């Protein structure tokens, strides 16, 4: 009988990627810190598109995150997007990014876009725009977005795009048990 020996080296295994994902507004302090860290990692470090990722829109924006975890505990921000109202009824989404290790997980970007548009719609959005890097234009067309204009931002080609709001459901309302009891007695 021959003994076989196996050497385990770092390249033997793919990096661990959590199978459980939750997409929601960032509410915890660590989620907000990780949200900005991911944006900085993608837009400043990796793409070198923005020397400073934060801007004036961040003061009013709703940060939305994709959280990965295991055993029901979210412990890592793997995706991010922000939404903000530019004027009554007109909302913008931006800074959509997914952590490098999770980019092949095809549904994270779509889930972030769905959450962003649906949440804005729930908050009174009548028109939803995003300025998208030109290489991502086809991705948004697949999500039924329309290109309004091609433009150059930060020395890079971008597209001003608009979501088809009819394709995005309103966010489910949470109804408290007390509200249900009051409604039954009327």
- The answer to the question of residue 95 being in a domain is yes
Q: What is the CATH number of the domain that holds 29?
A: 3.40.630.30
User: Strand, coil or helix: what is 38?
Assistant: helix
Select the more confidently predicted residue: 173 or 134.
Answer: 134
Residues in the chain: 186
- Could you report the per-residue pLDDT of 142-178, keeping only the tens digit for each? 999 999 999 998 788 999 999 999 998 876 644 333 3
- Would the pLDDT of 81 be above 80? yes
pLDDT tens digits, 105-123: 668 999 999 999 999 999 9
Query: What is the C-alpha to C-alpha distance for residues 34 and 186, in angstroms, rounded to an integer?
Result: 46
| Count: domains in the chain | 1
Residue 46, domain member (yes or no) = yes
pLDDT at 103: 85
Q: Is residue 1 part of a domain?
A: no
124: left (phi over 0), alpha (psi -120 to 50) or beta: left
């Amino acid at each position: 009988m021959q003994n076989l020996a196996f050497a385990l080296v770092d390249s033997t295994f793919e990096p661990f990627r959590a199978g459980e994902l939750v997409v929601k507004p960032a509410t915890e302090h660590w989620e907000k810190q990780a949200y900005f860290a991911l944006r900085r990692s993608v837009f400043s470090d990796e793409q070198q598109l923005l020397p400073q990722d934060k801007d004036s829109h961040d003061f009013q924006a709703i940060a939305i995150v994709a959280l990965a975890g295991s055993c029901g505990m979210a412990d890592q921000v793997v995706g991010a997007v922000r939404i903000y109202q530019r004027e009554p009824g007109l909302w913008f989404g931006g800074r959509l990014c997914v952590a490098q290790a999770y980019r092949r997980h095809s549904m994270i970007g779509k889930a972030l876009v769905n959450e962003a548009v649906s949440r804005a719609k729930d908050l009174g959005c009548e028109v939803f725009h995003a300025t998208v890097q030109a290489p991502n234009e086809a991705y948004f067309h697949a999500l039924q977005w329309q290109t309004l204009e091609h433009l150059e931002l930060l020395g890079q080609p971008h597209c001003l795009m608009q979501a088809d709001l009819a394709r995005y459901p309103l966010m489910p309302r949470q109804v408290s048990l007390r509200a249900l009891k009051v409604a039954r007695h009327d």
